[in-house]
């Protein structure tokens, strides 16, 4: 999250149950019960706190207030509104990679809503290292695709083995015929990025983008992982500059987003899970 964040804790002694459960669930063990049976930070706890909010989120009475979050600003977690097991299974198994989009823009407000949800994806020790770049509009997305095609042609001309093994010639040929196999004529591309040297960034971007993809379906949108775009951004300085990605950053995940042109009716088969029991 950048720098050391000094967090303070306040507890309403009148409403605190004094049962120590908040101490038990603290993932970094920086809370203790004092002589009055009220939770407080151990010595140095304010600096060691990762600001996960577990204690804050758990407290039934809302007795805990952190300097970074207040009960009055928090969304209530209503378990009755959560999807049941069958609905969750249907969402996860029914997810499709959407590559055909209506000729309809996605609004900035919609992308902001999706990213507001995606920022709640888990990150190691609550580092929250992911930031986003949104490329809005088919014209800009098409311009990005054109740059990637030029990059592909350069790789093929140099007989680059990666380009050959990934059959990049198919993308270049399709583009020449007016077919976009790279960005799929999507109205929006969203890039999850983070600092290159941060070991938490690759998996954090992947998880956040997964949240983004699933959230898109809840808003009636479709999404697809843009692997060619992701690869090109990290390998081409020209394409990196076009997207606005810093030289100190890496693109951890790239997602195409748009209004689905078609609706799928059934869930295709997948290979059985491969499990090693120990």
> What is the CATH classification number for the domain harbouring 69?
3.30.70.20
Residue at 81 is within a domain: no
Kindly state whether residue 209 falls inside one of the protein's structural domains.
Answer: yes
C-alpha 133/C-alpha 112 separation (Å) is 11
The domain that contains 185 carries what CATH number?
Answer: 3.40.109.10
Residues 94 and 42 in one domain: no
pLDDT of residue 1: 41
Shared-domain flag, residues 123 and 219 = yes
Beta strands in 98-221 (DSSP E): 131-136, 188-195
Statement to judge: residues 217 and 252 lie in one domain = yes
Cα dihedral angle (236, 241, 244, 247), rounded to 10 degrees? Answer: 70
Same domain? 18 vs 93: no
Q: What is the pLDDT along the chain (278 residues), one digit of tens a residue?
A: 445 679 999 999 999 999 999 999 999 999 999 999 999 999 999 999 999 999 999 999 999 999 999 999 999 999 999 999 999 999 999 999 999 999 999 999 999 999 999 999 999 999 999 999 999 999 999 999 999 999 999 999 999 999 999 999 999 999 999 999 999 999 999 999 999 999 999 999 999 999 999 999 999 999 999 999 999 999 999 999 999 999 999 999 999 999 999 999 999 999 999 999 99
Range of the domain at 32: 9-73
pLDDT at residue number 2: 43
Please state, in angstroms and as integers, the Cα–Cα distance from residue 58 to each residue in 28, 51, 61, following that order: 15, 14, 9
Domain assignment present for 150: yes
Angle, helices 201-218 vs 85-94, to 10°: value is 110
Q: Is residue 263 part of a domain?
A: no
In a domain, 82, yes or no: no
> Are 227 and 147 members of one domain?
yes
Q: Please indicate, yes or no, whether residues 96 and 123 belong to a single structural domain of this protein.
A: yes
Q: Tell me: do 119 and 250 sit in the same domain.
A: yes
Same domain membership, residue 231 and residue 107: yes
Residues 115, 238: one domain?
Answer: yes
Residue at 110 is within a domain: yes
> Looking at the 3D structure of the chain, how many domains does it have?
2
Do 64 and 161 lie in a common domain? no
* 128 and 238 housed in the same domain: yes
Q: Are 183 and 189 in contact (CB under 8 A)?
A: yes
Task: Tell the residue number behind the tokens 């997305």, with chain if given.
Answer: 141
In a domain, 265, yes or no: no
48 and 97 both lie in a single domain: no
Position 80 in a domain: no
**pTM of the complete model:** 0.93
């Amino acid at each position: 999250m950048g720098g050391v964040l000094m967090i303070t804790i306040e507890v309403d002694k009148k409403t605190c149950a004094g049962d120590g459960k908040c101490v038990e669930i603290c993932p970094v063990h920086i809370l203790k019960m004092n002589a009055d049976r009220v939770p407080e930070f151990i010595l140095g706890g304010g600096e060691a706190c990762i600001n996960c909010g577990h204690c804050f989120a758990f407290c039934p009475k809302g007795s805990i207030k952190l300097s970074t979050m207040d009960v009055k600003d928090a969304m209530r977690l209503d378990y009755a509104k959560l999807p049941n097991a069958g609905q969750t299974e249907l969402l996860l198994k029914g997810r499709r990679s959407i590559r055909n989009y209506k000729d309809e823009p996605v609004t900035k407000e919609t992308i902001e809503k999706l990213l507001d949800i995606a920022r709640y994806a888990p990150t190691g020790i609550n580092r929250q290292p992911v930031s986003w770049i949104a490329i809005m509009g088919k014209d800009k997305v098409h311009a990005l695709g054109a740059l990637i095609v030029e990059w592909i042609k350069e790789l093929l001309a140099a007989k680059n083995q990666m380009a050959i093994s990934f059959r990049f010639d198919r993308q270049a040929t399709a583009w020449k015929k007016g077919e976009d196999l790279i960005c799929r004529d999507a109205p929006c591309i969203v890039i999850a990025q983070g600092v290159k040297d941060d070991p938490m960034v690759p998996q954090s971007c992947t998880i956040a983008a997964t949240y983004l993809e699933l959230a898109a379906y809840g808003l009636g949108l479709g999404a697809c992982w843009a692997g060619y775009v992701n690869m090109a951004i990290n390998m081409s300085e020209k394409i990196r500059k076009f997207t606005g990605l810093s030289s100190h950053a890496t693109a951890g995940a790239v997602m195409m987003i748009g209004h689905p042109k078609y609706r799928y009716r059934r869930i295709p088969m997948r290979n059985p899970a491969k499990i090693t029991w120990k």
